[in-house]
A and B are shown apart, each in its own frame.
Chain A
Amino acid sequence: MSVAELQRRITQLEEELRKARRGDAAPEREKITKMSGEVVDTNPYSRLMALKRMGIVEDYEKIRTFTVAVVGVGGVGSVTAEMLTRCGIGKLQLYDYDKVELANMNRLFFQPHQAGQSKVDAAAATLRSINPDVHFEVHNYNITTVDNFDHFMDRIRTGGLEGGAVDLVLSCVDNYEARMAVNRACNELEQTWFESGVAENAVSGHIQFLIPGETACFDCAPPLVVASQIDERTLKREGVCAASLPTTMGIVAGVLVQNVLKHLLNFGQVSYYLGYNALVDFFPTMTVRPNPQCEDSWCRKRQAEYAARKAAEPIVEKVEVVEEEVVHEDNNWGISLVDESAPATATAGQVTGLAQGITTAYDRPAPSLPDDLTSSPPQDATSLDDLMAQMKAL
């Protein structure tokens, strides 16, 4: 064979290999049109439907009507997507622009043979074979750039199973820029979402439930993090950006999906902020009220709308639903849970009334009031084109 023929053959074989790896083969089982609680060894939903019989969830099948967007399919996002897939969620949207690398193998979910594939494609292939009933929509791009952001907003607005908005957005990204982009989109779209994060030192994490206008948005205050109780000066950062542990990521994904299920299926109590300190096994919780001076104008708009809605609400006697409520037995296990009954308040610089063990990543000054500097455009008649040319000529 000539070199050209051999090269063609290689391309062909590579393509076949890629298909085989992607799992283009037929799914392991047929789709199931109706969830059933029948306990037979072929029914993947019997143990989930048992939640109804046990009185935990009223209507488990409802899970098939929900669409959840998972932004970031890394150590937390991939496990989150797998849990939701196994729970039989209706539809998942997956967003990521990264490829699977062997360096990711200290985390759960992805496998070495998937190295080189895009995370979203590799994830969708695995998840489809686990549960062919779930609908998948994948986007292999960075949501923070202008073009992609518009598309992202559009898919959040119209990507639900029935063509409406998705039911929840889960931010499982690993950087501040992407979190801020999700925050901006959700404030604009009035979209309820969860934020999740694992510290770069791998020994703490958190989840946060955000309802635009009602709770603090991600931009209302500097990022809320779990106090590391490590002296920052002894934390060696030489030569590395970030550490990661499959344990911490798995735990954060677990508490995230647990709260997603509670919210969607209406059982138990959803945590607004839940921290996890791995060093001492401490789980502080709290709620944070929005900052009236939030830098995000959409957040302020949503706050005003929420206040107006609240004011317009007729004052009615709260109808108590008579049912077996969760009885808070004496805490025999010595698990320390801090729940500040009064919500914390976000201001620009810091947050007051934080629960023990939660802190802000840094302080930020109060926004400077618009002065004549900011209100007047620069007194320079040079056009942008001229400036660009000047820059080029340097």
Chain B
Amino acid sequence: MVDDATRKSLGSIPLMRTKAGPRDKEAWVTRLKEEYQGLIKYVQNNKDADNDWFRLESNKEGTRWFGKCWYIHELLKYEFDVEFDIPVTYPATAPEITLPELDGKTAKMYRGGRICLTDHFKPLWARNVPKFGIAHAMALGLGPWLAVEIPDMIQRGVVTYTEKKG
């Protein structure tokens, strides 16, 4: 289920108001603004709480998102590329968050590096359409996934620390 820390950070993310997907021309632009507002607030909160863990940006249309996420394990920072498309059925269906570098390294992934979400995510998302947005998907989907899977992958030796260049 959702732990208290997640619940708390979730509560501080502004809710979306516009039920619109990428095929809904003008309404999508409105929704996209809400998405950015939500993400900016969430990242700001994370920074304030000394728990900054991802950056995202999108193409002009807001249909393709990409960025970085990172996870601190025993004082070392492990960083991964993150990307996803906004499906045509968004926001009825959540985006499928993908970590391409980790494809094939864990069974908790579908083909192409799409993270495998818990059984609780989908019902929770479905109950909160259209209020949940990308920031919620990050907080409820990717955050908990990294917390469980990265330490496990480090322990199994499939993820190793590399010094960041530059």
Residues of A near any B CB (own CB < 8 A): 98, 101, 142, 144-146, 149, 174-177, 180-181, 183-184, 219, 222, 237, 239-242, 295, 361-365, 373-374, 376-378, 380, 382, 384, 387-388, 390-392, 394
Q: Which residue of B lies closest to A372 (CB)?
A: B17
For residue B33, CB closer than 8 A to chain A, the reply is: yes
Cβ contacts under 8 Å, B33 to chain A: 378, 380, 382, 384, 387
Cβ contacts under 8 Å, A146 to chain B: 22-23, 61, 63, 85-86, 88
Query: Measured between alpha carbons, how far is A382 from B40 in the docked complex, in Å?
Result: 13
Q: Which residue of A lies closest to B130 (CB)?
A: A374
Cβ contacts under 8 Å, A380 to chain B: 33, 37
Q: Which residue of B lies closest to A144 (CB)?
A: B87
- Given A373-B17, A377-B18, A391-B56, the answer on whether A241 and B107 have CB atoms closer than 8 Å is yes
Cβ contacts under 8 Å, A378 to chain B: 17-18, 30, 33-34, 37
- Given A378-B33, A387-B36, the answer on whether A394 and B89 have CB atoms closer than 8 Å is no
Query: Measured between alpha carbons, how far is A222 from B55 in the docked complex, in Å?
Result: 33
Q: Which residue of A lies closest to B30 (CB)?
A: A377
Query: Measured between alpha carbons, how far is A131 from B94 in the docked complex, in Å?
Result: 40
Q: Are A391 and B40 in contact (CB under 8 A)?
A: yes
Cβ contacts under 8 Å, A361 to chain B: 122-123
| A-contact bits for B1-38, CB 8 A (1 contact / 0 none) | 00000000000000001110011000001101110110
Q: Are B37 and A180 in contact (CB under 8 A)?
A: no
B 31-87 contacts with A by CB, 8 A: 32-34, 36-37, 39-40, 43-44, 47, 55-58, 61-63, 85-87
Extra 12 A-B pairs, beta carbons < 8 Å, given A176-B93, A374-B18, A390-B40: A144-B87, A144-B93, A146-B63, A149-B88, A177-B89, A180-B89, A183-B89, A295-B129, A365-B127, A382-B37, A387-B36, A391-B57
Cβ contacts under 8 Å, B105 to chain A: none
Residues of B near any A CB (own CB < 8 A): 17-19, 22-23, 29-30, 32-34, 36-37, 39-40, 43-44, 47, 55-58, 61-63, 85-89, 92-94, 96, 107-112, 116, 119, 122-123, 126-127, 129-130
Query: Measured between alpha carbons, how far is A183 from B89 in the docked complex, in Å?
Result: 9
Cβ contacts under 8 Å, A362 to chain B: 122-123, 126
Q: Which residue of B lies closest to A232 (CB)?
A: B119
Q: Are B127 and A177 in contact (CB under 8 A)?
A: no
Query: Measured between alpha carbons, how far is A378 from B123 in the docked complex, in Å?
Result: 27
Q: Are A98 and B93 in contact (CB under 8 A)?
A: no
Contact of B36 among A174, A237, A391 (CB under 8 A): A391
In the complex, how many angstroms separate the beta carbon of B150 from the nearest chain A beta carbon? Answer: 14
Contact of B43 among A144, A295, A382, A394 (CB under 8 A): A394
In the complex, how many angstroms separate the beta carbon of B63 from the nearest chain A beta carbon? Answer: 5
Q: Are B32 and A384 in contact (CB under 8 A)?
A: yes
Cβ contacts under 8 Å, B23 to chain A: 146, 149
- Given A145-B63, A146-B63, A387-B37, the answer on whether A177 and B119 have CB atoms closer than 8 Å is no
Cβ contacts under 8 Å, B129 to chain A: 295
Cβ contacts under 8 Å, B92 to chain A: 180, 219, 295
The 9 closest A-B CB pairs, nearest first, are A362-B123, A387-B36, A241-B116, A180-B89, A144-B87, A149-B88, A177-B93, A145-B85, A240-B107
Q: Are B93 and A384 in contact (CB under 8 A)?
A: no
Query: Measured between alpha carbons, how far is A101 from B111 in the docked complex, in Å?
Result: 10
Query: Measured between alpha carbons, how far is A234 from B159 in the docked complex, in Å?
Result: 30
Query: Measured between alpha carbons, how far is A239 from B107 in the docked complex, in Å?
Result: 6
